[in-house]
């Protein structure tokens, strides 16, 4: 069995009477993509929020490489190696791709006071940023302003921003959303290679991408995991077909 990098143990989170997360336990192991699927409102984003630190679970625990994250801030979790794709809106349009990635590294390295000053071009920032762009096949766009990128390329920059911090585990919330078939096929290929270095907890509605990419799938319905297994198993599970695939 591969090493467990991220582990969720009996997470519960309610909003008033609504149990948005119910006793969710799952893990993410080296070398894999573990996909989390479920209908709208199932609690996927609420779960990601608890892992990244934007939301505090009511009970339960979250561990990254054996370290207890549950009461840490978003920034502390990021520094410990929890990577999360940035939202499109967080990219600075007029700045180059490279500067965006460098700013992301600087901000999360804890130098946020320098955020609005010119990025210092020292190698400690350039090297990880360049490496991250290489892994996302974007070095030819390094000095292009983000405003000139396609939607798919922006998604790649968001992943590069997370990668530049050298995460141990990566959370991606619907990275294929809004991409056409070509963009999503390209990102699928990139993620297939990337997972070998950084395991990915993937929330995705594009079922073609999920069935192709995921080593394991957990199905979330009304806040609870109702099924778990490899792609072939989940594809055939009658409860999954009924609850999610619309049979």
Contact residues toward ligand ADP (CB under 6 A) are: 15, 18, 20, 38, 40-46
Q: Which does 41 bind (CB under 5 to 8 A by kind): ligand ADP, Mg ion, none?
A: ligand ADP
Local structure of 106: helix, strand or coil = helix
Q: Is 109 among the residues that bind Mg ion (CB under 5 A)?
A: no
Q: Shortest distance, CB of residue 47 to ligand ADP, whole angstroms?
A: 7
Strands 200-203 and 59-64: unpaired
Two tokens, residue 236 = 């055939």
Q: Which does 38 bind (CB under 5 to 8 A by kind): ligand ADP, Mg ion, none?
A: ligand ADP
103 within 8 A of 153, measured Cβ to Cβ: no
Nearer to Mg ion, 32 or 204 (CB): 204
Residues near Mg ion (CB under 5 A), total: 2
Q: Which does 87 bind (CB under 5 to 8 A by kind): ligand ADP, Mg ion, none?
A: none
Q: Shortest distance, CB of residue 15 to ligand ADP, whole angstroms?
A: 3
DSSP character for 117?
A: S
Distance between CA atoms of 194 and 50, rounded to whole angstroms?
24
Which of 38-46, 58-66, 105-113, 161-169 is the region at the interface with Mg ion (rule: CB under 5 A)? 38-46
Which of 45-53, 148-156, 186-194, 235-243 is the region at the interface with Mg ion (rule: CB under 5 A)? 45-53
The contacts of residue 58 (CB under 8 Å, 6+ apart) are: 12, 13, 14
Q: Which does 46 bind (CB under 5 to 8 A by kind): ligand ADP, Mg ion, none?
A: ligand ADP
Question: For 109, phi and psi rounded to 5 degrees?
Answer: -75, -5
68 forms beta bridges with 63
Q: Shortest distance, CB of residue 148 to Mg ion, whole angstroms?
A: 29
Distance between CA atoms of 215 and 47, rounded to whole angstroms?
20
Q: Is 45 among the residues that bind Mg ion (CB under 5 A)?
A: yes
216 forms beta bridges with 34
30 within 8 A of 195, measured Cβ to Cβ: no
Q: Shortest distance, CB of residue 54 to ligand ADP, whole angstroms?
A: 10
- Residues at the contact surface with Mg ion, assessed by CB under 5 A: 44-45
């Amino acid at each position: 069995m591969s090493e467990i990098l991220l582990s969720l143990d009996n997470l519960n989170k309610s909003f008033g009477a609504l149990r948005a997360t119910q006793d969710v336990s799952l893990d993410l192991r080296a070398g894999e993509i573990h996909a989390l699927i479920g209908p709208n409102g199932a609690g996927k984003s609420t779960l990601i929020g608890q892992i990244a630190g934007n939301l505090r679970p009511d009970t339960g625990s979250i561990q990254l490489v054996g370290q207890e994250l549950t009461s840490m801030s978003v920034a502390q979790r990021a520094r410990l190696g929890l990577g999360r794709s940035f939202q499109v809106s967080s990219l600075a349009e007029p700045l180059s791709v490279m500067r965006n990635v460098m700013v992301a590294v600087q901000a999360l390295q804890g130098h946020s006071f320098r955020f609005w000053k010119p990025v210092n071009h020292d190698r400690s920032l350039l090297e990880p940023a360049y490496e991250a762009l290489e892994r996302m096949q974007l070095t030819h766009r390094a000095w292009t302003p983000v405003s000139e990128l396609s939607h798919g390329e922006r998604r790649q920059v968001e992943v590069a921003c997370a990668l530049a911090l050298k995460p141990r585990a990566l959370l991606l919330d619907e990275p294929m959303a809004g991409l056409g078939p070509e963009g999503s096929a390209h990102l699928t290929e990139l993620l297939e290679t990337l997972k070998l270095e950084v395991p990915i907890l993937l929330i995705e509605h594009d079922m073609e991408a999920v069935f192709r990419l995921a080593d394991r799938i957990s199905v979330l319905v009304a806040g609870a995991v109702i099924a778990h297994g490899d792609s072939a198993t989940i594809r055939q599970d009658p409860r999954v077909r009924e609850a999610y695939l619309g049979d």
